[in-house]
Amino acid sequence: MQERIFGYIRVSTREQNEDRQRIAMQEFGIAEENVWLDKQSGKDFERPSYRRLMKKLREDDTLVIKSIDRLGRNYTEILEQWRVITKEKKANIVVLDACVII
């Protein structure tokens, strides 16, 4: 099975601009059709695009986010989602702001 790469973008309100995150996804090489966007608070994971993305995500896929706070705001829930993605779905996560290129 071939690895697929998905990007996830979240901004807290409809007025916020997601361009910085979208550019980061493009620079990473993610196809536009594989980028999922929610314009909603990160207080929980009941977000429409995130839910659809989680249904699509499978083993050996990679989920790319710009920074950990784009995944969510609740640390406990972030850890639980991280576990679901990496342990249950056996997918990978890349946090762009955590990557260091030398």
- Span 64-77, pLDDT tens digits: 999 998 988 888 99
Q: Tell me which residue has tokens 């850890």.
A: 79
Q: Return the CATH number at 51.
A: 3.40.50.1390
Q: In what order do the strands lie in the sheet with 35-39?
A: 35-39, 5-11, 62-65, 92-95
Q: Tell me which residue has tokens 């995944």.
A: 71
Which residues carry out catalysis? 12
pLDDT averaged over every residue in the chain: 91
Q: Is residue 46 pLDDT above 50, yes or no?
A: yes
Number of domains in the chain: 1
pLDDT at 10: 95
Which residues lie closer than 8 Å to 50 by C-beta, 6 or more apart? 8, 10, 36, 38
The pTM assigned to this predicted structure is 0.89
pLDDT at 102: 45
- Span 10-21, pLDDT tens digits: 998 777 889 999
Quote the domain boundaries for residue 38. Answer: 5-98
Q: Is residue 93 pLDDT above 90, yes or no?
A: yes
Which residues lie closer than 8 Å to 91 by C-beta, 6 or more apart? 57, 58, 59, 60, 61, 62, 63, 85
